[in-house]
Structures are given as C-alpha cells and as structure tokens.
Structure 1
Amino acid sequence: MHNSDREEEMEINSKDVSLRELRDRLAEFARVRGWEQYHSPRNLLLALVGEVGELSEIFQWKGEVERGLPNWSADDKEHLEEELSDVLLYLVQLADVCGLDLGQAALTKILKNAQKYPVNDVSPTASSTYN
C-alpha cells in the first residue's frame, strides 16, 4: 500500500473508533516516520502534560461553560476537538508503550468506582469524580 493510500485510509470517519484501532494506527504512524525511538514512556508523558496544558488554556479565561458549548464558535469547537484529540492520542500511545490495555483498565476502574461510590450513597447534588 502506497503512503498516500495509508494516509487516506486514516482519514476514514467512523462513529465507533476503538482504542485498539487508535493504538494500531498511532503505532503505524510512528513506525513509518521512524519516531518509535523517541516514544519512551517519559517522553510520551511529558508530551501528554504539554497537551493537557494547551487544553487547559482553552478554558482558562472562559469561566463556567454550558454543556454542548452553545455559545462557542465553530472555530473554537474545532480547536477544542484538536486539543482533546492530542491528549487522547498521547494517552493511548503512553498506555501502549507501557504494555497496558487502556480500554480494559478504564472498564476495571469504572467497576472499582462503582464499588467505592455505591448508588445508594450518592446524593443528587453531589458532583461526580473519578479517582
């Protein structure tokens, strides 16, 4: 498959993209560019932190924002999508380089949180946290 064919294949839109598919596409993206040598856990973590900082800057001076971002411009929403995507992609890469199944780990964490915070113990006004 020619490089441009591969890049076009990566542009395919799908409603339900799995973490496994993202992981595989990211690994291929890095492999064909020779970037694997730079993708140590430390380097990926530092890149992730940098991207979280860029994501934070988007919200820094906006105050509270309504769900669905009804007052945001299309450009602002696109910028947010890009920064969220950067964070997700570095997180997926970091988990992969560490040999972890991020999807399974997330499901396991949801189950642990369900045990830690049973439905009967949650007040309707309590804010949700996942830690």
Structure 2
Amino acid sequence: MTKAILTVDDSPSLRLVLREALTDAGHRVVEAEDGIAALEWLASNEPQLVITDITMPRLDGLALIEQLRRRDDMRDIPILVLTTESAPESKAKARAAGATGWIAKPFDPDKLNSAIRRVTH
C-alpha cells in the first residue's frame, strides 16, 4: 500500500478540495484539522508527504513543521505549505522551519500535483 499524503488544515472545505485533487491524481489522503491532530496521526504513521496550512488553532503550521524536523523519522519527509499568506517574510519563516515548498491558496490542482511530483521523486 502506498504511503498517504497528510493534509493539515482547519478548513473542512479546503480539506475536501485537497482530498478531491489528490485522490483524482491517485494519491491516498489522510486529513488532520490542526497540528495536534497531525502529530497524533504521525505518532504511528509515516506519510509520503505533508501539506499544511500555516494559520490554525491549537498548533499552527510553522510549529508543526519545526516539531517534525526535530524527529529523525520526519527529517527528510517533504512538507509543502499551502496558505493564503504570500508575504516574503512568511515564506522565509516557513523555509527556516523546514518547509520544502510553498503553494498559494487558492491552488490549481495541476500545479499542486506537479509540486508533489517534484518533491517526492
């Protein structure tokens, strides 16, 4: 069985759009509504890739990325940030935390899947 892509976003509608775009491209998808839920799933699973929003309750995307990069088993897993924030300082913070790439919302499914292919192959 192929490893899942973990999507982390507090918006149910965005998780739905992501799930449709990713499953249409043949990916298996697991969803988490924030960083805490993501960490709970990641305690016993290893994803192919993590796609995370930045602004979320309980544990935001930057804190999630930082926590994952401190783990030996997550150090090399690609992490894409999917967010409405586009300020250069936000991108710099995400890179500094350990993000692999950045995708702006609203996203184009073809561009998203192209970015996934680039970071997972």
Point out which structure has higher relative CO (alpha carbons under 8 A, 6+ apart).
1
TM over 0.5, yes or no? no
Tell me which interval the TM-score lies in, with the shorter structure as reference length: under 0.3
> Taking structure 2 as the reference length, what is the TM-score of the superposition?
0.25
Structure ranking higher in strand proportion: 2
